[in-house]
Amino acid sequence: MARLDGKIAIVTGGGSGIGRQAALLFAAEGASVAVADIDAAGAGSVAEEISAAGGNAFAIAVDVADESSTREMVAQAVATFGGLHVLFNCAGIFPSDDGGVLDTPPATWDRVMAVNAKGTWLCCREALPAMLASGGGSIVNVASFVALVGAATAQVAYTASKGAVLAFTREMAVEYARRGIRANAICPGPIATPLLAELLADPAQRQRRLVHIPFGRLGEAAEIARAALFLASDDSSFVTGSALVADGGITAAYVTPE
């Protein structure tokens, strides 16, 4: 039996990277998937890919930092599929001018917090009533290994936002544990996505990242999608309020030899 057979899922950031891989995997495991992304074309392409493979999906454009947009996202998923059981909050940003404490522009800080932290909260806020009406479910939020340790390269707004996501996830898990909803976070290490490829275009900066990863490589989006599947499914039925670290060993290492 497929691990998400009969489940209804929303994947934000579903148009590319980890979100795309998760949407494809959730659908392959039996879920009906609302592929949500601020990039409507990207979301549409993924939904078409799922449909072509025999799955059930539709695409929706969403700005997770906007309350009315997240409300419409959940409403459309419920209207189309009849309920909601899984929310995978993968949408996030990491602007190139996000740097040190003294270097990061206030506008950049505000935008990163609006999308990464507030956006996660808004999506959960809209999804929770639908999940309760559907008999419960699982929320999986993407935090980061930098929610646990300081980053080797300064990225103060992103790091703060992911710390907020992790703390929020724990709070929500406790609040809803006896109401049939689990909430967990994934803390990925550096993942080979278009976003990171742009940020690590400089070979020196790329090597500075890789030297801290015991595996000596970036993670793959599909590897994080499989972690999300575990947390979304009943395989993790006694897991809530957790931080699943998928970082290639970064947070376990003190010094990694080159």
Half-sphere exposure of 176 (CA within 13 A, CB side): 26
pLDDT at 160 over 80: yes
In a domain, 101, yes or no: yes
The three-state secondary structure class of 62 is: coil
pLDDT at residue 199 is higher than 90: no
List, by residue number, the catalytic residues.
158
CATH number, domain with residue 23: 3.40.50.720
pLDDT at 256: 52
Q: Please, which residues bridge with residue 181 across strands?
A: 137
Place of tokens 């929303």: 10
Supply 144's token pair. 């980061």
User: Collapsing DSSP states into helix, strand and coil, what is residue 237?
Assistant: coil
Given pLDDT bands bounded at 50, 70 and 90, which one contains residue 195?
A: low
Let me know the angle formed at the C-alpha of 164 by 162 and 169, rounded to the nearest 5 degrees.
Answer: 100
| pLDDT band at 148; cut points 50, 70, 90 | very high
CA nearest 91: which of 26, 142, 32? 142
In a domain, 122, yes or no: yes
Whether residue 24 is contained in a domain is answered as yes
Residue 203 forms part of a structural domain: no
In a domain, 215, yes or no: no
Quick check: is 14 in a domain? Answer: yes
**pLDDT at residue 223 above 80?**
yes
Find the domain containing 115 and state its range: 8-190+221-243
- Classify 3 as helix, strand or coil: coil
Q: Is residue 216 part of a domain?
A: no
Length, in residues, of the chain: 258
Computed over every residue of the chain, the mean pLDDT equals 94
- CA atoms of 160 and 109, how far apart (whole Å): 9
Query: For residues 149, 102, 197 and 122, what is the CA-based torsion angle, rounded to 10 degrees?
Result: 70
Q: Is residue 67 part of a domain?
A: yes
Q: What is the tally of structural domains in the chain?
A: 1
pLDDT confidence bin for 212, thresholds 50/70/90: confident
pLDDT of residue 193: 77
